[in-house]
Amino acid sequence: MTDAMPALSVLDLVPVRTDQTSADAITASRHLAQVADAAGYRRYWLAEHHNMSAIASTNPPLLIAMLAAATERIRVGSGGVMLPNHAPLVVAEQFALLEAAYPGRIDLGLGRAPGTDPVTSYALRYGGGGVSEDAAERFAEHVDNVRAMMDPAGVGVSVGGQTHALRATPAATSTPDVWLLGSSDFSARLAARNGMPYVFAHHFSGQGTAEALDLYRSQFVPSPELAEPRTFLTVNVSVARDADEAARLARPQLLAMLALRTGGRLGPQLLVEEAEKAELPAAHADLVDAMARRWVIGDPASARAQLAELAATYGVDEVMVHPVTGAWTGTETDRAPAREETLSLLAA
């Protein structure tokens, strides 16, 4: 008996190739979101990363506004906003306005990681004096603050012995869905305790997913917003007409992840031909092969079968695919046709 195909969503880091500018990469992501929208994908999330040559997703709220305006029905959200980098009120205001502009289509995914290097993290969190030094330790409190501020009723703040009403936007009629994201058990426990939906970063490591999801489900406390645990799986995916082409298209992202894991130079994403010229020590080649085995790389039929199997294994009805397919030399700089094809072939 074949496992049922799960609902599909998209995670986008807005990759920047060696032949692209930031403007090119953003335009390519706009086209990719439109492909996902037309193909029936459930949601489209943007990650938050800073000071990285290969990633342009520095500001999820701005990108969400752009892509929600360019699409019609798909939910658009953050995967995620790294809350310790920002004042909770600012995040609440941004997403309350996005929800007002695109009601029923906005997701706010919140994470606790820095999303960057230590120097940039310092500049984000303390350079402007707007975020407290213990922001990461106060993550649970700040999650509560963001949710309360976005509620139409707002929240009461006591200052000078008086209580003042504080609302993220003056007259909200709905609020975004708020998710917790994580790669450890901290966010799993917090999401369970608060009765919130939760996503484990399976695409990043592939380790500990079952344990985190089991912990979340076993400790889940129903809330007014959510009666039962709600989660999905994130997976790196490269799909092409045949498996060999899919493997070649995945190599640039595999080399980028190798550099991240081994302390190598992180430059713009290589084109396929550039990646194929890279010579690796045997130990690094083995690491690349091990990463590739945890990804979904193949032709449409095998990729869909792998996604269905993963969904059944982890007990989810939705998989968020991170299309890691690269580009050939000569590709239009403001498009990512192989990434678009990955989404189209999966949804066909």
Q: How far apart are CA 68 and CA 108, in angstroms?
A: 13
> Do residues 219 and 211 touch, judged by C-beta distance below 8 A?
no
CA atoms within 13 A on the CB side of 161: 0
Q: Tell me what pLDDT residue 337 has.
A: 98
Q: Tell me what pLDDT residue 154 has.
A: 87
The residues spanned by each domain of the chain are: 7-347
Query: Does the pLDDT at position 108 exceed 70?
Result: yes
Query: Does the pLDDT at position 204 exceed 50?
Result: yes
* pLDDT confidence bin for 120, thresholds 50/70/90: confident
> Do residues 98 and 127 touch, judged by C-beta distance below 8 A?
no
Query: Does the pLDDT at position 125 exceed 80?
Result: no
Query: Does the pLDDT at position 1 exceed 60?
Result: no
Lowest mean pLDDT among 125-139, 148-162, 195-209, 240-254: 125-139
Lowest mean pLDDT among 27-31, 114-118, 179-183, 286-290: 114-118
* pLDDT confidence bin for 128, thresholds 50/70/90: low
> Do residues 180 and 198 touch, judged by C-beta distance below 8 A?
yes
Tokens of 136: 């990461």
Options 3.40.50.300, 3.40.50.1220, 3.20.20.30, 3.30.930.10; CATH of 7-347:
3.20.20.30
Q: Strands 155-159 and 162-166: what pairing?
A: antiparallel
> Which whole-number Å values give the CA distances from 55 to 122, 256, 257, 289, in the listed order?
19, 11, 12, 23
Mean pLDDT (the chain) is 93
Query: Does the pLDDT at position 86 exceed 60?
Result: yes
Q: Tell me what pLDDT residue 133 has.
A: 64
Q: Tell me what pLDDT residue 123 has.
A: 81
Give this prediction's pTM.
Answer: 0.94
- Summarised one tens digit per residue, pLDDT across range 96-106 is 999 999 999 99
- When pLDDT is averaged across residues 230-257 and rounded to a whole number, the result is 97
- When pLDDT is averaged across residues 20-49 and rounded to a whole number, the result is 98
Please state at what angle helix 337-347 crosses helix 300-314, rounded to 10 degrees.
70
